[in-house]
Amino acid sequence: MPVELLQKLISIPSVYGNEKEIADFCENFLKAKNYTVKRNSNTLLSYKEFDPSKRTVALVGHLDTVPGENDHTGKVIEGKLFGLGASDMKAGDAVILKLAEEFSLKESRFNLVYLLYEKEEGPYLENGLRPLFESEKFNRILKKIDFAFVLEPTDNVVQVGCLGVIHSWFVFKGKRAHSARPWEGENAIHKGWKLLKKLSEMKPKAHTENGLTYYEVMNATMTDYTGGRNIIPEEFRVNVNYRFSPTKNLEEAKEELKALKKEVQADEVVFTDLSPAARPCLDNPVLSEFVKRYSIKVEPKQAWTDVAQFSTNGIDAVNFGPGQPHQAHQRNEYVEVEKVKECYRLLRDFMSE
């Protein structure tokens, strides 16, 4: 079972940006099972020969964790295995490695690709998947994939699609002055009131796609200004975080923010992070069979995940993993051992001839 592998993975520190040791372990593990392993930095793409008569399924997991503390690392207490990254998402990684071991000894009814990557927990531009899709050497293999299971923590529920994300600075410009003589300047912070009022009054907006409802939300999440306590600020910036539904592409979402800029009379909008949404792929034959065969619960993904990178590149993908979402990034993070075993059994049975 994958629990022993999970304990090993938990014992290897892999906080964001420090994934080399765990990538080395996984690479050696896969090579020992006679897999071809292509490596880019600390991201691994592993496979065997492709049978053109079979569909190709990828099993995907990130190797990094956020920083954190755990008082019970490696211990199983009341059916819960504790450790940093236990749920997010070393439990999924352990299932992937155990399945690779299983199918190194017997045939699968799919061509299987195993993808373990670095830097998921940070900025989108540094994500370890991006260079693979941009590289001909890796993309030649990725193009063969018909469907991908991304084993993020979902409590063994299939989460379909995902919201897109845009971060943008709404910039308001004024004129610097002494705060004792404000009439000599123009207060940039005061100019931002229309935006803040608009955002405070916005309600979640429901969009339904393939029977699943996603909620669009827009919020101010950060502010920045130039000046000091006794200075009328000459510039005020508000970070607007827009989570948009899979019914829209990035350009459509950007146009909405540009229209908002005009409405609230901002001087400028600067886009700093652009992450596409992922389509709800319930019509994919691999997913359809998996859900029906095991009566798996299906939910919309009310967040962003790397299924969007696959979707943008024409590959259907969903989140399905053994970790508990509420444990992600928590102190004393744990995963329920039975969930890890259940995920492994389901995928092993589904992949088997």
Catalytic position from the list 64, 93, 235, 333: 64
With tokens 């090993």, the residue in question is 8
Strand partners, 46: 37, 114
Domain shared by 60 and 141, yes or no? yes
CATH number at residue 185: 3.30.70.360
Pair (215, 245) in one structural domain: yes
Cα 148-150-156 angle, rounded to 5 deg: 115
User: Using CA of residue 99, residue 295, residue 300, residue 148, what is the dihedral sign?
Assistant: positive
Residue 226 has pLDDT above 90, yes or no: no
pLDDT band for position 109 (50/70/90)? very high
Structural domain boundaries, residue 226: 164-275
Same domain for 138 and 17? yes
Write down which residue in 222, 253, 275 finishes a domain.
275
pTM for this structure?
A: 0.89
Residue among 10, 14, 34, 33 nearest 24 (CA): 14
Residues 63 and 88 in one domain: yes
Distance CA 301, CA 212 (A): 9
Q: Is the domain of 11 the same as that of 84?
A: yes
| pLDDT tens per residue across span 135-177 | 988 999 999 999 999 999 999 999 999 999 999 999 999 999 9
Paired with 217 in beta bridges are 243
The CATH number assigned to the domain holding 305 equals 3.40.630.10
- Dihedral over alpha carbons 343, 143, 141, 304 (to 10 degrees): -50
In the predicted structure, residue 107 carries a pLDDT above the cut 80? yes
Residues of the chain above pLDDT 70, percent: 100
Same-domain status, 335 and 311: yes
Any idea what DSSP says for residue 133? H
Q: How far is 193 from 196, CA to CA, in rounded Å?
A: 5
Specify the pLDDT at position 73: 93
pLDDT of residue 165: 95
**Spatial CA neighbour of 92 closest among 58, 123, 127:** 58
Q: Are residues 178 and 255 in the same domain?
A: yes
Residue with tokens 């071991």: 101
* Residue 120 falls in the annotated catalytic set: yes
**196 and 250 both lie in a single domain:** yes
Lookup: tokens for 171: 């910039």
Taking the CA atoms of 59, 64, 67 and 69 in sequence, report the sign of the dihedral they define: positive
pLDDT for 100 beyond 90: yes
How does pLDDT run across 228-272, given as a tens digit for each residue?
Answer: 899 999 999 999 999 999 999 999 999 999 999 999 999 999 999
Residue 352 DSSP label: B
Q: Within this chain, do residues 242 and 285 fall inside the same structural domain, yes or no?
A: no
* Catalytic member of 88, 93, 102, 120: 120
Looking at the predicted structure, is the pLDDT value of residue 1 above 80? no
Whether residue 270 sits in one domain with residue 179: yes
Number of domains within the chain: 2
